[in-house]
Amino acid sequence: MKKLRYERPIIQRLNVGIMNKFGTKTEYTPVTHIDGNPVKSLIEKFGSPLFVISERTIRQMYKDANRAFKTRYPKVQFAWSYKTNYVNAVCNVFHQEGAWAEVVSGFEYQKALKNGVPGNKIIFNGPDKSGAELKEAVENNSLIHIDHLDELYMIKELASHSKKKPRVAIRVNMDTGVYPIWDRFGFNYEIGQAWDAINKIMLTDAMELVGLHCHIGTFMLSPSAYGIAASKLSDLALHVKKKFKKTIQYIDIGGGFASRNTLKGSYLQGVDLAPSFDAYAEEITTAILNAGFAKEDLPQLILETGRALIDEAGFLLGSVISNKRLSDGRRATILDFGVNVLFTSFWYDHKISPAQEFSQYSEDAVLYGPLCMNIDVVRESISLPPLKRDDHVVVHTVGAYNMTQWMQFISLRPAIVMIDKNDKAHIIRKRETLKSIEAEEVLPAHLKEFKI
């Protein structure tokens, strides 16, 4: 007979009459494997903590999203949002699936070029584009999405010294019924800024207005907001056609579809709440198809979906450092990852599973990270079976933003592994080293030595 695993006893006060709507325990099964790879051996081989990305899941999510839009609309193009996860291996899975690149900085622009994305398939967004960056984008025929008037005038000036005619779009912000309105990026629709910018572009021959863009927010749980956005952009495109006899080539509806994560404070779980790709696609494509375009003028539909395509493909594996009791009697479990690598724990209650067998007991616990920083709380309250030192946990739905917003504070950032379609694990970003972190530091000669 197999020896039973020791589990320390707990004494717990029972509160009669208080029921958790989701049952007494949030986790019923351990997650011991990811795409055929044992969690334990992944950690042994690549260290803890460790990010793991499932290539199979990325491709599946992309195919689902693509199908939802392509079955409803004739011309659809996805552009991978680099800032959501710009590890090159991840970007290239999306490029292999057919996605263009959507970048929001000169750094990301260079990354996309280096990955081999043709210049004319890079969408250059964001409020901060330098003169040199804009110049390169113009020479490469990239799609430049103008954020403000200073940028518009800068492009106009650049165009006067270039043989190329810049291909531009404007970013439009608007009231879609979701508040607060994101009105700090681009030109507002309701107060006429967008139409004004369009006229400024159309009344010079310096550049070509090829598209109209919006990105109405992040984690938007309301598909109808996208329907409103698509209608307003279509309306602008139709006005351009009417006034200038000019066909707008594309409408870019941005990103922001919700992933299946649970927002803090949400009563329902994210998996039950997040609209499907079909729900978003139905609103967007119906709005454009019904807007009044002539058949030959139907614009291409571009989507810059980020989190909804990658979040579920990402896992964070970690280990327990210690358990302790807080002064109020609550159990606290200290993990080897904190808000430094799991930045999104500031706004999501991630699903967290033990990676080994456990009994039916569970206890409410606070999960802390390893940082010497009071705000390093992975979770204020979670019901988990008792975990002990060196036990492992798997955090789910972490593919978006963590690998770009992570910070290096007091330790080294972990490795990232991608598991391919044949369940083979590849390292796609090595764990940082003291050497790699110090590579950019310079120590002046007079500070090289000291005696203590």
Ligand X SMILES: *Cc1c(COP(=O)(O)O)cnc(C)c1O
Interacting residue ranges for ligand X, rule: CB under 6 A? 81, 83-84, 102, 104, 125, 215, 218, 254-257, 304-308, 400
Gyration radius of the chain's alpha carbons: 25
Which residue's CB is nearer to ligand X, number 84 or number 231? 84
Report helix, strand or coil for 42.
Answer: helix
SS3 43: helix
Non-local (6+) Cβ contacts of 236 within 8 A are: 172, 189, 194, 195, 198, 212, 248
Classify residue 14 as exposed, middle or buried by CB count within 10 Å of its CB (0-12, 13-18, 19+).
Answer: exposed
**Least distance to ligand X, CB of residue 99, Å:** 12
Kindly tell me which of 308 and 334 has the beta carbon lying closer to ligand X.
Answer: 308
Q: Which is nearer to ligand X, 81 or 234 (CB)?
A: 81
Greatest CA separation found in the chain?
A: 84
Report in angstroms how near the CB of residue 258 gets to ligand X at its nearest.
8
CB of 256 to ligand X, least distance (A): 4
Nearest approach, Cβ of residue 310 and ligand X (Å): 8
Cβ-proximal residue to ligand X, closest one: 306
- Closest contact distance (angstroms) between CB of 297 and ligand X is 25
Closer Cβ to ligand X, 240 or 302, answer by number: 302
Q: Are 10 and 323 in contact (CB under 8 A)?
A: no
Q: Is the dihedral of CA 269, 417, 338, 215 positive or negative?
A: negative
Q: Report the nearest approach of ligand X to the CB of residue 303 (Å).
A: 9
How many separate helices (H) and strands (E) can be counted in the chain? 13, 20
* Contacting residues for 59 by C-beta, under 8 A, at least 6 apart: 93, 97, 421
Least CB distance to ligand X at residue 307 (A) = 4
Specify the residue, 347 or 409, whose C-beta has the smaller distance to ligand X: 347
Closest CA to 335 of 374, 406, 389, 373: 389
Q: Between 80 and 315, whose beta carbon lies closer to ligand X? A: 80
Cβ nearer to ligand X, comparing 135 with 307: 307
Question: Buried b / exposed e across 15-35, counting CB within 10 Å, b at 16+?
Answer: eeeeeeeeeeebbeebbbebb
